[in-house]
Amino acid sequence: MAEDFINLQGDTPLLEYLSSLPVDEDLKKGIHSLALNADLDEYKADPTKTLYVEQKVNICDVYIGFIDLLIHSPQRTTIVDHKFISNKRYIPRDEDLLEDPQTAVYTYAASTFFDLPEITFEYHYYGTMSKWHEKRKLNLTRGQDED
């Protein structure tokens, strides 16, 4: 089976390339919102960090998911999940995110795999109908996650 990979040539900026793809206009707006995320600079090449992209999660064959981005370093480990929505009013409150199964499962998997006492989970929300970016940041201990 053949796989297609993004092939960037010359000095074409990634945003320009992604915007040129034949995709829905709402998705293009989401891509532009993603470009507003200044936090992405933090994920650039850094020898102290290991990036795991679309990391498969499988716990006892009960739940399978994919962590969008996991940044692991000696200082901290952060899970990043990207969400694209049309309106900011749909962004859940921190209390709701703490009860979200995705928060519990991904945090449990990463903290167990890396044997971490605490982990940071960031939900990044991007506008699809207009350009905006907001994030929710949860710092969780293993005990909080197990509860």
pLDDT band at 100 (very low <50, low <70, confident <90, very high): very high
Highest mean pLDDT among 2-6, 34-38, 61-65, 139-143: 139-143
Pairing of strands 50-59, 118-127: unpaired
CA distance 139 to 118: 7
pLDDT of 8 > 50? The answer is no
| Higher per-residue pLDDT: 7 or 112 | 112
Q: Can you give the pLDDT at residue 47? A: 76
pLDDT band at 36 (very low <50, low <70, confident <90, very high): low
Q: Can you give the pLDDT at residue 89? A: 93
Section 86-105 average pLDDT: 93
Q: Can you give the pLDDT at residue 83? A: 92
pLDDT of 46 > 90? The answer is no
CB 120 within 8 A of CB 138: yes
CB 32 within 8 A of CB 20: no
